[in-house]
C-alpha cells in the first residue's frame, strides 16, 4: 500500500510511549528488587479489519405478497448502535415503502451465515449496503411485473 510504512509507525509508537526510558526504569527496578520483577514489551499486531463490502456480508430481504410487508435478515448484531433501524430505513427507501412496513429479524447464523464481526464502527454501513443491494435486485426482478400492472391499470 502506498504511504504505509510499518517500520516508521512502529518506531513512532515506541517513541511516543517512551519505550526506551521505560525499559531502563524496569531494569533499574529489577536490579533493586530480588524477588519481585517487572517486565515490558512491545508487540506489533495486525488487527484483521476488512472494510471491503464483500468481506463476508449479506442480507436476505423478503417481500410478503399477502400484505406487502418486508422482512430483512442481516448478519450484524444490535448492540445499541441502532443497526436494525438503519437497515430498516435503507430498505424502506430503496423499495419505496413505509419504514413501518419493514421488520428486521434478529441476527441468526442459520439465515445469514459467515457474517463478519460486529464492531469497528463500520458494521451498520456494511449491513445497510448488503440490504440495499438485495433490494436493488428485488426491484430489478419486480420491474417487469410493475410495468405489466401499470399497463393493466390503464
Which whole number is the average pLDDT over 18-22? 96
- Per-residue pLDDT tens over the stretch 126-147: 889 999 999 999 999 999 988 8
Residue for grid cell 447464523: 109
> CA 115, 48, 87 angle in degrees (round to 5)?
35
3-state secondary structure of 102: strand
Whether the pLDDT of residue 48 is over 70: the answer is: no
Give the mean pLDDT of the chain. 87
Q: Check residue 56 and give left, alpha or beta (phi > 0: left; psi -120 to 50: alpha).
A: left
Higher pLDDT, 78 or 4: 78
- Per-residue pLDDT tens over the stretch 73-131: 998 888 888 999 999 999 999 999 999 999 999 988 888 887 777 776 778 888 899 99
Neighbours of 61 (CB within 10 A): 23
Whether the pLDDT of residue 52 is over 80: the answer is: no
Contact 70, 63 (CB under 8 A): yes
Q: What is the DSSP letter of 111?
A: T
3-state secondary structure of 104: strand
Integer Cα distance of 83 and 18 in angstroms: 40
Q: What is the DSSP letter of 99?
A: G
Integer Cα distance of 103 and 130 in angstroms: 16
- The reported pLDDT for the residue numbered 100 is 96
- The reported pLDDT for the residue numbered 150 is 86
Strands 59-63 and 70-74: antiparallel
Amino acid at each position: 500500500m502506498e504511504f504505509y510504512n510499518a517500520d516508521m509507525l512502529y518506531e513512532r509508537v515506541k517513541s511516543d510511549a517512551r519505550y526506551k526510558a521505560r525499559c531502563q526504569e524496569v531494569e533499574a527496578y529489577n536490579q533493586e528488587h530480588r524477588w519481585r520483577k517487572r517486565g515490558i514489551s512491545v508487540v506489533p499486531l495486525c488487527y484483521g479489519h476488512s472494510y471491503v463490502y464483500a468481506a463476508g456480508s449479506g442480507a436476505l430481504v423478503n417481500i410478503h405478497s399477502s400484505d406487502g410487508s418486508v422482512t430483512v435478515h442481516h448478519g450484524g448484531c444490535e448492540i445499541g448502535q441502532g443497526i436494525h433501524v438503519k437497515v430498516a430505513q435503507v430498505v424502506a427507501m430503496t423499495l419505496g415503502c413505509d419504514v413501518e412496513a419493514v421488520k428486521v429479524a434478529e441476527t441468526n447464523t442459520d439465515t445469514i451465515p459467515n457474517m463478519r464481526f460486529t464492531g469497528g464502527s463500520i458494521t451498520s454501513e456494511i449491513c445497510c449496503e448488503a440490504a440495499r443491494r438485495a433490494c436493488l435486485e428485488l426491484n430489478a426482478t419486480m420491474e417487469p411485473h410493475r410495468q405489466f400492472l401499470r399497463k393493466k391499470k390503464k
